[in-house]
Structure 1
Amino acid sequence: MIEASDGDDRGDGTLLDGLFATPAMARLFDDRARLQAMLDFEAALARAEAAVGVIPAEAAPAITAACDATRFDLGAIGLAAADGGNLAIPMVKALTAAIGGDAGRYVHWGATSQDAIDSGFMLQARSGLDLLVSELTAIGDALDALAARHAGTVMAGRTFLQHALPVSFGLKAAGWLSGVTAARAELAHVRATALAIQFGGAAGTLASLGDKGPAVAARLAAELGLPLPPLPWHGDRSRVARIATALGLTAGALGKIALDVALMMQTEVGEAFEPAAAGKGGSSTMPHKRNPVGATLALASARQAQALVPLALQAMISEHERAIGGWHTEWVALPQAFRLTAAAAAQVRVIAEGLEVDAARMRENLDRTQGLVLAERVMMALAPTLGRMPAHHRVEAATKRAVAEGATLHTVLAADAEILATLGADGLAALFQPESYLGASDAFIAAARDAWRRGNEPRGG
């Protein structure tokens, strides 16, 4: 596990980190942590090559001891990178100078800049994925509890932002939970299958190491605790693209929750609210406001994270053995995607763990259309006798009359002698009990919760 640095020197500044990053993820992907990850590669490479006999055994301890990012001038390395086109070139030069003597001659032996940069990123990505999986676990546990607690809390289901049919808030929470379950599984899968060392030398052949290249690569992978791929992947950016895509999918699942909560917090709806806190959600001019600031920041972060995914996908179409620009876009896009996804997760966790649910308002809103949300139920009850389409037309006409007259749908239908004769007074009245028209909701909630719990089970070794 990479330890994030304590410094403030981040590539994108710190002013907006409180909005679009978490402290842990920002530290993990700040400039010093990026440099340290590349230095970890250089130290591991020296140890691997010394073990295989490629470089003198005494060179490895000296190189390893010097691979400490706090000993280097980040600003100078950053400025010098412009001449070579990447950070590894000035880093290797500075590291070599810092070591000096005979050991300095063996720094970066047989490697190329992309080996250090890509392997360093993989070390950071491993820790970043672990942070996100941990956060999603907390979110999922909170949503699991909401789904169980509100399985019988009836509310209006909405399609095209209009009342559709009765649903339970537990089912809505189960839908959120299902998205988080899938996202966490994808992150875990990518961690297990996409991470790998990068080690191919100048053009992916390790020719400079003679017949010892494969042995060094295997030892290097063991040193870094990363998988050894079948071959170097300088020109195959699918591993990075898969990580980016997993982040985008995660951001989507989080953004869905945030958007639903923001809509439920609307004044005219008022069905659920982010947890209140001193100074949270206020307006600079309107003292009465309780804005959905957590959902807002989660949405903004999620949308930005998703917008970065195409950059990683585009980088897959690269030129020959090393790209001219595509690979370079990953250096900004992927760290930022990690920061943004973490920011969205942090906000959604607060929302999920402290969501205030107004069940009475949910029922009040459900009743607002005076039975119209149960029109489908009446239609299906009439269909065996009248036929589905005739029943549809009959109930549709009744709904229009109910709206025009400001009457309940039940009242209008009860005035229709044929309908009353078909369903009976008690039968018709029973159709307007929304609690009994939730279909397979309980089964769906149980299935979502079961999938989450199975995801929490430890995997066999």
Structure 2
Amino acid sequence: MSDGLFDAVLAAGPVAGQVSDRAWVQAMLDFEGALALASADAGVIPTAAAEEIARQCRADDYGIAEIGSRAVDIGNPAGPLVRALTTRVTPQAAAYVHLGATSQDVSDTAAMLVTARSFDALRTELRSAAALLAGLAEEHAYTVMPGRSLLQQAPPVTFGLTAAGWLSGITAAQSRLNAIRRDRLAVQFGGAVGTLAALGDNGIRVLSGIAQRLELTEPVLPWHTERSRIAEAATALGQTCGAVAKIARDITLLAQTEIGEVVELGPAGTGGSSTMPHKRNPVAAVLAAGSAGPAPGLVAALLGASAHEHQRAAGAWHAEWRPLSELLRTTGSAVHWLVISLERLRVDPERMRSNLERTGGLLLAENVAIELVSASQGAVGRQTAGDAVAACCRAALADCGELVELLADDPLIGQYLERRRLAELLDPAGYLGSADEFIRRTLDDWKAQS
């Protein structure tokens, strides 16, 4: 990670180190080393030359800034890096550096390695987030809170169900990233136009050897202008950021002063304000949301670069480098801050119950209407029941009395439901449906994928 002004905030976590300039150069050198060793295994070049080339493939031995400045000569950094590598090896080995490869083979394989290594770091962080969410779902399976629809209170849920919903999004993101890491991050090796003609009959053997050494998938054929691998990685990262942003948004809303159902309790000095000493900002959730924010635009940039002409494109693969790095970095930062937010999160069940009681039972109006239809054995239709209960709700909102009394005094409702039963129907804990079963199913799904 660089030392930029915003990096500690928007490039936090271990993924940032996997997309640094040094990491990219090392990934390109890893390709060159694997190419040489695989070529030796296939009998294309001498083993001694391959070993000499591999020994010189350490990024710390190269001037990264100089390589970057020389990239303008041919339009990519692979060329100057290959030249620098060639000058470092013995004259006997120099003739075999980069044999059969083209610059795009180097940069594309480096992109896959950078992505794979970022995915590995990202998956570790996602596992931490998922474990924390699973703990919240189990601990608060019966902690009743208001459900919210269009930002208004709705029938009750549990905080455990809320956390299970968060967990479901993270589990889905994990599953997608795992599948792409396993099946779709492939080595690129096709030579000038994807035929490996320079290697004669040895091209496939060398390709297989590179894939094995780099622990990347071996593609069916070179994918110089078939960019679905980049697109799939991009959309999976966008999906991950979406899952993080949803959780972060919920946490910031639940932590509002007027709601106060959760709070982040971080180390001293966190969550404060430059002007308002009283503030307890959920700063980690805020930074998770802020990090995730650029993802849709970066995904769009990568999808927009997918149209590559003929066998090798003019500019389209170049257009992928920066948004791919930024998307990996920002996704890693978003997940990192989410883990911190969840570690700091404290739930206030009493405040949740208090917020439920603010409406005097209005949230349970649906329960009363359904019971009225049942108690009347269908004599009162669903629409009629709903209208009768809605009239009582309007009266309660107009301060004409408590809802339970208004319902009991209504001629139609009171005919079928006693006050005691109405009070039971207005108890939030009695109207949770299959919430506990949904939590269990979500936890089972998470455990099956862990």
Q: TM-score range by the shorter chain?
A: over 0.9
Give the CA deviation at 1:334. 1.3
C-alpha separation in 2, matches of 1:353 and 1:209? 54
Matched, 1:282 2:272: yes
C-alpha separation in 1, matches of 2:320 and 2:401? 60
Matched, 1:189 2:166: no
- In structure 2, the partner of 1:18 is 8
C-alpha separation in 1, matches of 2:121 and 2:296? 18
Matched, 1:371 2:361: yes
- In structure 1, the partner of 2:254 is 264
Select 1:149's aligned residue among 127, 130, 139. Answer: 139
What do the CA deviations read for 1:306-344 (whole angstroms, capped 9, x no partner)? 321112222222211222232122211112111111111
- In structure 2, the partner of 1:60 is 50
- In structure 2, the partner of 1:132 is 122
1:48 to 1:182, Cα distance in 2 relative to 1, 3 A: same
- In structure 2, the partner of 1:253 is 243
C-alpha separation in 1, matches of 2:89 and 2:402? 85
C-alpha separation in 1, matches of 2:251 and 2:423? 33
Worse overlay, 361-370 or 55-64: 55-64
Worse overlay, 254-263 or 90-99: 90-99
C-alpha separation in 2, matches of 1:85 and 1:160? 50
C-alpha separation in 2, matches of 1:262 and 1:113? 46
Q: Which amino acid aligns with 1:240?
A: I
What do the CA deviations read for 1:10-46 (whole angstroms, capped 9, x no partner)? 4xx5322211123522221111111011001001111
C-alpha separation in 2, matches of 1:374 and 1:63? 73
Give the CA deviation at 1:417. 2.7
Matched, 1:210 2:200: yes
C-alpha separation in 2, matches of 1:101 and 1:44? 20
C-alpha separation in 2, matches of 1:295 and 1:418? 49
C-alpha separation in 2, matches of 1:59 and 1:276? 55
C-alpha separation in 2, matches of 1:198 and 1:426? 72
Give the CA deviation at 1:424. 1.8
C-alpha separation in 1, matches of 2:400 and 2:30? 72
Local SS of the residue matching 2:445: helix
- In structure 1, the partner of 2:306 is 316
- In structure 1, the partner of 2:327 is 337
Aligned ranges for residues 438-449 of structure 1 at < 5 Å?
A: 438-449=432-443
Select 1:180's aligned residue among 161, 165, 170. Answer: 170
C-alpha separation in 2, matches of 1:324 and 1:54? 31
C-alpha separation in 1, matches of 2:81 and 2:306? 26
What do the CA deviations read for 1:92-129 (whole angstroms, capped 9, x no partner)? 11111222512112110110001111111212211111
Q: Is the 8 Å Cα contact of residues 245 and 309 (structure 1) preserved in structure 2?
A: yes
1:407 to 1:100, Cα distance in 2 relative to 1, 3 A: farther
Worse overlay, 287-296 or 197-206: 287-296
C-alpha separation in 2, matches of 1:248 and 1:76? 33
Q: Is the 8 Å Cα contact of residues 262 and 345 (structure 2) preserved in structure 1?
A: yes
- In structure 1, the partner of 2:429 is 435
- In structure 1, the partner of 2:398 is 404
Q: Is the 8 Å Cα contact of residues 42 and 107 (structure 1) preserved in structure 2?
A: yes
Aligned ranges for residues 7-86 of structure 1 at < 5 Å?
A: 10=2, 14-86=4-76
How many residue pairs align between the two structures?
446
Q: Is the 8 Å Cα contact of residues 154 and 434 (structure 1) preserved in structure 2?
A: yes
C-alpha separation in 2, matches of 1:447 and 1:23? 31
C-alpha separation in 2, matches of 1:124 and 1:419? 66
Moved over 4 A (4+): none
Give the CA deviation at 1:393. 1.3
Aligned ranges for residues 219-234 of structure 1 at < 5 Å?
A: 219-234=209-224
Matched, 1:298 2:282: no
C-alpha separation in 2, matches of 1:409 and 1:165? 15
Give the CA deviation at 1:149. 0.8
C-alpha separation in 2, matches of 1:351 and 1:70? 35
Give the CA deviation at 1:58. 2.2
- In structure 2, the partner of 1:394 is 388
Q: Which amino acid aligns with 1:301?
A: S
What do the CA deviations read for 1:375-422 (whole angstroms, capped 9, x no partner)? 111111122331011111111111111111263321211221321121
- In structure 2, the partner of 1:160 is 150
Local SS of the residue matching 1:158: strand
C-alpha separation in 1, matches of 2:333 and 2:179? 21
Q: Is the 8 Å Cα contact of residues 420 and 428 (structure 1) preserved in structure 2?
A: no
Give the CA deviation at 1:369. 1.1
What do the CA deviations read for 1:327-375 (whole angstroms, capped 9, x no partner)? 1222111121111111111111122233110100001111111111011
C-alpha separation in 1, matches of 2:88 and 2:78? 15
C-alpha separation in 1, matches of 2:253 and 2:187? 44
Q: Is the 8 Å Cα contact of residues 52 and 90 (structure 2) preserved in structure 1?
A: no
TM-score in terms of structure 1 length:
0.94
Q: Which amino acid aligns with 1:53?
A: G
Local SS of the residue matching 1:386: coil
Please list every run of 5 or more consecutive structure 1 residues that lacks an aligned counterpart in the other structure.
1-7, 457-461
TM-score in terms of structure 2 length:
0.96
Local SS of the residue matching 1:449: helix
How high is the sequence identity, in percent, across the aligned residues? 48
Give the CA deviation at 1:300. 1.1
Give the CA deviation at 1:302. 1.0
C-alpha separation in 2, matches of 1:352 and 1:171? 16
What do the CA deviations read for 1:43-66 (whole angstroms, capped 9, x no partner)? 111111122122233211221111
Matched, 1:95 2:85: yes
What do the CA deviations read for 1:417-446 (whole angstroms, capped 9, x no partner)? 321121122222211111010011011011
Matched, 1:421 2:415: yes
Select 1:200's aligned residue among 172, 190, 212. Answer: 190
- In structure 2, the partner of 1:118 is 108
Q: Is the 8 Å Cα contact of residues 130 and 167 (structure 2) preserved in structure 1?
A: yes
C-alpha separation in 2, matches of 1:447 and 1:320? 48
Local SS of the residue matching 1:405: coil
C-alpha separation in 2, matches of 1:71 and 1:219? 25
1:363 to 1:406, Cα distance in 2 relative to 1, 3 A: farther
